[in-house]
Chains A and B, each alone.
Chain A
Amino acid sequence: MTTTAPAAPPRPARAARAALPPALRRARRRSAGLGLLAWLVGIVFFLPVAWMVLTSLHAETDAAANPPAVAASLTLDGYRTFFGSDGGPSPWPALLNSLMASLFSTLLVLALALPAAYALSIRRVKRWTDVLFFFLSTKMLPVVAGLLPVYLFARNTGLLDNIWLLVLLYTSMNLPIAVWMLQSFLADIPVSIVEAAQIDGARLTTVLARVIAPIAGPGIAATSLICFIFSWNEMLFARVLTGVTAETAPVFLTRFITSQGLFLAQVCAASVVISLPVLAAGFAAQDKLVQGLSLGAVK
C-alpha cells in the first residue's frame, strides 16, 4: 500500500514498514512450515493407499519381501490372479451383483425420496420438521438389531440369496440420508418458479422432472453418488443374507481374510478393484460429501 502512495507517505506507515520485515519474514517462514506439515500429514495418511496400489502391481515374491522391495519391477499378475487366471473363482458375478444392488437401490431411493423431499421443502406438510427428524431417527438404530427378523423373513419367503432383497434393504438404509440431503437442496429453489409451473397446469411428476430436477441436478447427483457408495460398501446384510448367487463384492473380499501363502499382491489388487468405484464416486461428490455424511446437518 505504501509503495503506491505517490507523495510523502505518512510517518506511521514508514515506521511500520521499517518494523515489519523481520516479523513478516518470521510469519512467512512459519506459514511455509505449516504448509509443509500439512503436506506431510496428507502423505502419511495416503501412504497405506499408495502402498496398496504399489503392492498390487508387484510379483507375489516381491510383495512378500522383507525389507520391502519398493523398486521391484511392475506386473499385472496380481490382477490376473484376482480375475481368476489360475482357476480361482471369478469376481465378475460378485461385482455385477454389487453394481445391481447399488444401482437399483439408488434409483429406488430417488423415486421415493424426491417426492418426499418435495413435500418437506416446496409444498410443505404440517409439522414437516417432525417428519424429517423421524426419518433421521431410523438411521440411528443399529442394523444388527433387526438382522435376525429380516433373515427369518427371507428364509420363509424364499428370498435368501436374492439380490432384490438387498436392493430393498439398501433402499431403507439410504432413504433417510437422501430425504435429508434432497430436502436441503430443494429448499433452495424459489417457490415462485414452482408455482408458475403449477398455474400453467403442470402435474407433480412434470414439475419434478422438468422444473425441479434441472435446478437441483447437482444436488441430486451428489445424493445418488453417496447412496451408491453406502450400498457398495455394505457387508453385514450381504454376508448374512446372500450365499452363492447373490454374493456381493465386499462378501467376495472376505475370502481373503485368512492368509493363503503368497497372496498379498492378489489381495491388494482385489482391494483396489473393489474400491475403485467408491473412490471415483467419492471424488466426484467431494464438495457435497460432508453434507451427505453429516446427514445434511453441515452445508
Chain B
Amino acid sequence: MSAPAAVRAPRPAPHTGRPAPRRPGRGARAWATRAPLLPALVFLIAVTQLPFAATLVISLFDWNSLRPDDRSFTGLDNYGEVASDASLRESVVTTAVLTAAVVLVSVVLGLLIALLLDRSFPGRGVVRTLLIAPFLLVPVAAALLWKHALYNPEYGLFNGALTWVAELFGDDTPPQPDWVSDMPLIAVEAALIWQWTPFMMLILLAGLQSRPTELVEAARLDGASGFQIFRYLTLPHLRRYLELGVLLGSVYIVQNFDAVFTITSGGLGTANLPYSIYQTFYQAHEYGLASAAGVLVVIGSIVIAIFALRVVSSLFREEVSRA
C-alpha cells in the first residue's frame, strides 16, 4: 500500500525459504542486514541524483559561461526560450522520429529473424553469432564504418556495388547518390537499425524459447495451422517481450549521441536532443538553456521509464513466483 502505484513491485514470496527479517523491533539487526546495501546506494545517489538536482537549479538561471558576471535568476524563462527556439523544437521532433523509426523497424526485423532462428537448422549457432556481431561493434566504430566504408559517394560499398551491377548490364553511368546528403536522417536510422536489430532479436528469441512447448504441441495435434499458432499462442506470449524490447530500445535510442555525432555531426536536420544539448552547453556555452532542455528530456524519459518499469516488474513477478 505504501509503494507508489506506478511501479508496484511484487511482495517477497513467502515460500522461497528466504529468512524474513526476524525480530523487527531490533534496530541493530536490521542495520546489519542493510549495511551491505548502503555503499552502492549512497554511491549511486551521489553520482546520479545530485547532478540532476543541480541541472534543475541551473535551469532557473540565465547563465552563459562566456559572460560569467551576468549570472542571474530568471525563473522559468529558459523553458520559455526552449519552447520558442526553432532549432530546439525541431530537435524534439527529430528525436521522436529517429527513436520511433529505429525501434519499430528493428523490432519487426528482430521478430522475423527470431522466428527464423527459433527452428533448428544446420549451423544455427553460427548464424546467431553472425547476427550478434553488429551489436558488438563499438558504436563510434560502427557509425564510422557506415559513414566512410558504406555511404561515401566515391568509394563507399553501396555506390561501389551500384557501379559493379551497372557494369554487368553494360551501363557506364551508374547512379552514384550521395547517401548522407540526400537522406541524412534515413542514413543515421539505417546504421542504428543495423546495430539494434540483433538486440531485439536476442530478447524476442529468449521469449520464443520460454514458450510452453506442450501448448503448441497440443494446438498442432488439434489441427491448428502455423499462422493460427503464431497469432493465438506465440504472439500473446511474446507481448511482454515485445513491450520490453520497444521500451528498452526507446530508453537507449532517445539518448543516442554517437551515431548522430559521427555520421552527420548534427547537420542536415539530424540533430536530436542529446546532440542539441551537448552543443548548447559545449559550444554555445548557454548553461541555463542547456539545463532547461535537459530537464525536458528527463521528463520525457520518465514517461517512457514508467511504462518500462511496469513491464520489467510484471516479468520479474512471474520469475519470483516461479522460483
Contact = CB atoms under 8 A, between A and B. Distances in A.
A67 B298 contact: no
Contacts of B21: 124-126
A294 B121 contact: no
B180 to A, nearest CB: 11
Contact of A66 (B128, B155, B255): B155
B233 to A, nearest CB: 19
B223 to A, nearest CB: 14
B interface bracket (residues with beta carbon within 8 Å of A): 35 or more
B291 to A, nearest CB: 6
B47 A48 contact: no
Contacts of B150: 48, 51
Interface residues of A, number: 110
A20 interface: no
B21 to A, nearest CB: 5
Contact of A37 (B116, B148, B199): B116
B93 to A, nearest CB: 17
Interface stretch (B69-77, B157-165, B214-222): B157-165
A144 B274 contact: yes
A261 B117 CA distance: 42
Interface stretch (A7-15, A85-93, A114-122, A213-221): A114-122
B301 interface: yes
A32 B122 CA distance: 9
A271 B146 contact: no
B118 to A, nearest CB: 10
A137 interface: yes
Interface residues of chain B: helix, strand, loop or mixed (majority) = helix
Interface string A140-166: 111111111111110000000000000
A35 B291 CA distance: 51
A64 B155 contact: yes
B160 A128 contact: no
Contacts of B161: 67-68
Given A41-B116, A64-B155, A138-B44, A240 B278 contact: yes
B97 interface: no
B136 A116 contact: no
Contacts of A74: none
Given A133-B7, A271-B145, A278-B136, 4 more contacts: A37-B116, A145-B277, A146-B52, A264-B149
A-B CB proximity, top 9 nearest = A35-B121, A115-B36, A146-B51, A140-B305, A129-B9, A149-B54, A145-B294, A271-B141, A172-B47
